[in-house]
Structure 1
Amino acid sequence: MPTQSTYHPPHTITPPIVNLIAQISEVVGRLTVLTDNSKELRLRRINRVRTIRGSLAIEGNNLSEEQITAILDGKRVIAPPREIQEVRNAIAAYERFGSWSVEREADLLEAHSVLMSGLIDEAGVYRHSGVGVIAGERVIHMAPPAKRVSILMQDLFGWLAATDDHPLIASSVFHYEFESIHPFADGNGRMGRLWQTLILNRWNPLFADIPVESLIYEHQEEYYDALQQSTDKADSAPFIGFMLRMILDAVSSATPQVSPQVTPPS
């Protein structure tokens, strides 16, 4: 069980954020009703590929949706071995998606072990050295010292277990705080995005198959800007707003188009 914590990540709930939550909730409700079960498996597969491609592309993986689909089908793909391994790991992680609890730190460590297997030596364990986020030649964020990572993550999980925030907010706050702590030697971006999706999935299972990551990839400069703005303000509101806009776009584009019913002439 996560430890009880009095830690409260600073985040302001602005009127635009409230409006976005209302819009997302309305679209999700409509999507839940309109989802056609006969198409569900095919749509899930397409969106899973888009999700994996988007999240890995942000980290520099160049494999296309077609190549990822081929790997998913067990076919041979000619590409850099590391990029193929990243895709295989992501496929394995999403296959385990339903077995992980958002509030279990041990599950997060296991998920990292799956995602980063064969890619780094420290898969599934918190980092043992300092890290920074670099843009070009400039360090834009220095993460907390390695010796503080464990207690910071315990605090974050304690907050997640206790918070009354709407899951749309809680998932975005967790994502921002996770990236700020940068608990792993590598794989922090893909883990933060995975865990936000897991939190959203607990709110509504549709989110397991909504490719939010592909939209983040298309707006990755804004993604990093929102992270930086939140760090500068010591308030994750800019990042929450960005993520909610991406989620709204993702669920809106996933809404099935319903053909109007035509009454045959009598």
Structure 2
Amino acid sequence: MSQQYQPPFSITPAIVTLVGRISEAVGRLTILREQAASLRLRRINRIRTIRGSLAIEGNQLSEAQITAILDGKRVIAPPREVQEVRNALAAYERFDDWNPVVEKDLLEAHGILMSGLIDEAGSYRRGGVGVLEGSHVIHQAPPADRLPALMGDLFHWLATSDAHPLVASSVFHYEFEFIHPFADGNGRMGRLWQSLILARWNGLFADLPVENLIFAHQAEYYEALQESTRQTDSAPFIEFMLTMIFDAVSASVAPDAPQVAPQVTPQVGQLLQAILGEMSREALQDALGLQDRKSFRERYLKPALADGFIEMTVPDKPNSRLQRYRLTDKGRQWLQLRREG
């Protein structure tokens, strides 16, 4: 192990400002949480965290479906996506047991997170791997024979660094993604481990849905990773992650602030108000008094699906004769805010 290993990162004025603002907001949120601990809120945030992290990797299950899996209900969805959710739920159940500076804990977490999904779950990859963008390799990870030394250096640095946990967790996250130590699951593991590092600094991060915001800014997440690699300095990624963390903390500090229903077209609004339970396309058209199937699909159905207000009951078979449509959490929230407004 290289005792002098130091990940390349610089502390920019933006990073200093964000660390201060997050620390202040965390202080306020900690007091609020102590005054009104809410198991329901923790459950909701945990589901949002899992939904965000898996969605970044292409999993299409909704918060409602993840909730159903958590409650032991049967969900009609691709088996791999259901397995990913079950693994993530199991991993977060063990969240409090792991020490972020212990390498074997990271391997154990990966074993749970990727159980039944890859053969090398819980072990570092044995071959080379590249990160693709389309058909282009945008990052060639270090060779497999260097992984023990690289990961050993990274954990030693994390255990001995005097960097603020907000900075150290972001540096670890970036370095982890650069090394790409696993055959699969590197993205979700990097985000999980940053949350674990932050939770050891302040327990509220165990249930703060930062990953939901990363999903909403997915393109910027990958751009920050690439820019940090280009600069040989993880400052761009640190700034991005601290911005996401600040936004997540700020939203939790004032969860009861007045909310406004997102803007939707009149057609989408009519559709959301017409849905009762799970309905077929024909039933929805009848409820809205519409005859033109193409117009209904283009002006009502597709925009509502694209914006996440409704979802399909058989997402892997869009044209199934058994297909039904139902409101998502976002759609139900829109209806509730509209009624309250």
Q: Assess same fold via TM > 0.5.
A: yes
Interval containing the TM-score (normalised by the shorter chain): over 0.9
User: Aligned match of 1:253 in 232, 251, 254?
Assistant: 251
Q: 2:222 corresponds to which residue?
A: 224
Consecutive unaligned residues in structure 1, runs of 5 or more: 260-266
SS in 1 for 2:7: coil
In the TM superposition, residue 6 of structure 1 has moved relative to its aligned partner by 1.5
Q: How many residues align?
A: 257
Greater RCO, 1 or 2 (C-alpha within 8 Å, sep 6+): 1
Matched with 1:211 is: 209
Taking the aligned partners of 2:198 and 2:78, their CA distance within structure 1 comes to 33
Q: Which runs of 4+ in 1 moved over 4 A?
A: 36-39
Q: What is the Cα deviation at residue 256 of structure 1? A: 3.6
Alignment of 1:73-92 (within 5 A): 73-92=71-90
The answer to whether structure 1 residue 190 and structure 2 residue 201 are counterparts is no
Q: Distance in 1 between matches of 2:155 and 2:77?
A: 38
> How far apart are residue 37 of structure 1 and its match?
5.3
Q: Which amino acid aligns with 1:81?
A: P
TM (norm. structure 2) is 0.74
CA deviation profile, 1:93-145 (whole Å, cap 9, x unmatched): 00000000011000000000000000000000000000000001111000000
Q: Does the 8 Å contact 1:34/1:256 carry over to 2?
A: no
Residue from 229, 234, 237 that aligns with 1:236: 234
SS in 2 for 1:10: coil
User: What is the CA distance between 1:40 and its match in structure 2?
Assistant: 1.5
Q: Which amino acid aligns with 1:165?
A: A
Tell me the equivalent position of 1:107: 105
Aligned with residue 154 of structure 2, among 153, 156, 160: 156
Quote the residue 2:177 is aligned against: 179
Aligned partners of 2:87, 2:108: CA distance in 1, in Å? Answer: 12
Could you tell me how far apart the structure 2 residues matched to 1:120 and 1:175 are?
22
Q: Structure 1 residues 258 and 82, CA, compared in 2 at 3 Å: closer, same or farther?
A: closer
Quick one: distance in 2 between partners of 1:183 and 1:258? 41
Q: Aligned partners of 1:37, 1:50: CA distance in 2, in Å?
A: 23
Query: Are residues 1:6 and 2:16 paired?
Result: no
> Please, what TM-score do these two structures have when normalized by structure 1?
0.94
Partner residue, 1:25: 23
Q: Please give the alpha-carbon distance, in whole angstroms, between the structure 2 residues aligned to 1:29 and 1:230.
A: 30
* 1:35 CA displacement: 1.9
The percent of aligned pairs where both chains have the same amino acid is 70
* 1:36-57 deviation line (CA, Å, top 9, x unaligned): 6555200000000000000000
- The code of the aligned residue for 1:89 comes to N
Cα separation, 2, equivalents of 1:231 and 1:98: 32
The SS at the match of 1:35 is helix
Q: How big is the shift at 1:34?
A: 1.3
When Rg is computed on C-alpha atoms for both structures, the one with the higher figure is 2
Separation in 1 of the partners of 2:147 and 2:105?
A: 16
* Structure 2 Cα separation of the partners of residues 214 and 66 of structure 1: 15
SS at match of 2:132: strand
* SS, match of residue 67 in structure 2: helix
Structure 1 CA distance for aligned equivalents of residues 157 and 255 of structure 2: 39
| Alpha-carbon distance in structure 2 between the residues aligned to 1:38 and 1:184 | 40
State the Cα deviation string for residues 198-234 of structure 1 (Å, max 9, x = none). Answer: 0000000000010000000000100000000000000
SS in 2 for 1:61: coil
Q: CA RMSD in A?
A: 1.3
1:5 CA drift (Å): 2.5
